[in-house]
Amino acid sequence: ESSFILNYFGGPEQDNDTKSMRHFFDMSFNHELTESVALGANYDYGIEQDTTNAKNIFTGAGLYVTYKPEKRWSLAFRADVFEDRSGIQTGSGLPHFTLQGYTLTPQWELTKNLLIRSDLRIDAANAKVYPTDTDFISTQPTITLNAVYHF
């Protein structure tokens, strides 16, 4: 089974300026190879006209695989990249600012409505933008633990 989704968002995004527009396209493709393995890909493209009439372009892409050997648990891996060509979207102000991320996500379905999920993630940038107590570094590991209850 496969799916393809295309989204578009657009409108003015600058404070006190209804003429400068942002256009954002998001495309996702998912394919279930087997009952236990699924693949996905995502691509984003955005362009924003700022108050000086310059066009700021940002793009992103991701690839992921999910392995679900049993009904109640799965393991997913995702690699993604985001490029902010003008540094405007990220607020870095750096031209061709790039972020990369790698995420490993184990998930357990405790009940029909309750999931426990963790993200083990490493983010990397082409500049030192992640703060420490004394400095800035170019990589940042994070761990999250989520409980998701759905109705």
Task: Give me the long-range contacts of 44-53 (CB less than 8 A, separation at least 24).
Answer: 44/82, 46/22, 46/89, 47/22, 47/23, 48/13, 48/20, 48/21, 48/22, 48/23, 48/88, 48/89, 49/20, 49/21, 49/22, 50/14, 50/20, 50/88, 51/14, 51/17, 51/20
**Cα–chain-centroid distance for residue 91?**
17
Alpha-carbon Rg for the chain, nearest whole angstrom, is 19
The pLDDT of residue 126 is 95
The pLDDT of residue 121 is 97
Q: What is the mean pLDDT of each run of 10 residues along the chain (151 residues)?
A: 95 80 94 96 91 82 97 96 88 88 97 96 95 95 96 90
The pLDDT of residue 46 is 94
The pLDDT of residue 51 is 63
What is each CA distance from 91 to 32, 100, 122, in whole angstroms?
37, 16, 20
* pTM, two decimal places: 0.84
The pLDDT of residue 124 is 97
